[in-house]
Amino acid sequence: MKRLIIAVSGTPGTGKSKVARVLARRLNAHLIDLNELIREKKIYTRDADGTLVADERKMRAEFARVMKKTEGHIVVEGLLAHLLQTKYLTHVIVLRTHPKVLERRLRARKYFGAKLRDNIEAEALSIVLWEAVQAHGVDKVYEIDTTKLGPRAAAKLFTDALSGKVSLRPGKIDWLEEVF
């Protein structure tokens, strides 16, 4: 099997961290937390609200350095993982969650006001999926609905897709009319 470098992305609250951990164990892969890498290397600024804003150019450069010195399979997870260089990524998984379920998850994380609304709207509009397909093409992107799936089931679904047992072709999930 060729070296796998898999990005796990999605709106906050869709299960990226948990799915990535399970997938990395299943594939015996190194796990890279992109948010942790950004904080550790201080490749960010803060906006007016105090939110960290990653420097995407520096993020990509740092990921390239880490990837080149890491042997074997890699699973990289984070909200911005789908924006990493397409030449390095073999697969991009975009996790999706029904906006009503996502709202409950985000409220439990203390998301309120504009931050809550912006993330629910981003999920309803398929923003992360759209960006991933634009950057990497439809054949490299896998879409998984985690509304009713736990991390193990989501990871298994992806490995089943890798072996050709199921299709996770993007574009099958649409919650737009339910939200707007």
Average pLDDT over residues 9-23: 98
Cβ neighbours for 129, distance < 8 A, ≥ 6 positions apart: 94, 96, 141, 143, 170, 171, 173
Mean pLDDT of the chain: 95
pLDDT band at 176 (very low <50, low <70, confident <90, very high): confident
Q: How far apart are CA 124 and CA 160, in angstroms?
A: 26
pLDDT of residue 118: 94
Average pLDDT of 3-16? 98
Which of 103, 108, 98 is closest to 118 using CA atoms? 103
* 144, pLDDT greater than 70: yes
Chain segment 49-72, per-residue pLDDT in tens: 888 899 999 999 999 999 999 999
pLDDT at 178: 73
pLDDT of 154 > 70? The answer is: yes
What does DSSP assign to residue 55?
-
Q: What is the set of domains in the chain, with CATH numbers?
A: 5-174 (3.40.50.300)
Interval 14-18 mean pLDDT: 98
* Contact partners, residue 60, CB within 8 Å, separation at least 6: 83, 84, 85
| Structural tokens at position 116 | 């809550």
**Confidence band of 12 (pLDDT split at 50, 70, 90):** very high
Q: d(Cα 67, Cα 32) in Å, to the nearest integer?
A: 9
Model pLDDT, residue 50: 81
**Are the C-beta atoms of 27 and 4 separated by less than 8 Å?**
yes
Cβ distance 145 to 171 under 8 Å? no
Task: Report the share of the chain in percent with pLDDT over 90.
Answer: 92
Please determine, for residue 111, whether its predicted confidence score (pLDDT) is greater than 90: yes
**Greater model confidence, 86 or 48:** 86
Q: Model's pTM, two decimal places?
A: 0.95
State the pLDDT at residue 1. Answer: 62
DSSP labels for 15-43? -HHHHHHHHHHHHT-EEEEHHHHHHHTT-
Q: Which residues does 135 contact at the CB level (< 8 Å), separation at least 6?
A: 82, 83, 86, 92
Mean pLDDT in residue range 148-168: 97
C-alpha count within 13 angstroms, C-beta hemisphere, residue 139: 0
Measure the CA–CA gap between 29 and 36, rounded to whole angstroms: 17
Label residues 123-136 b or e (16+ Cβ within 10 Å = b): bbbbebbbbbbebb
Range 95-117 average pLDDT: 96
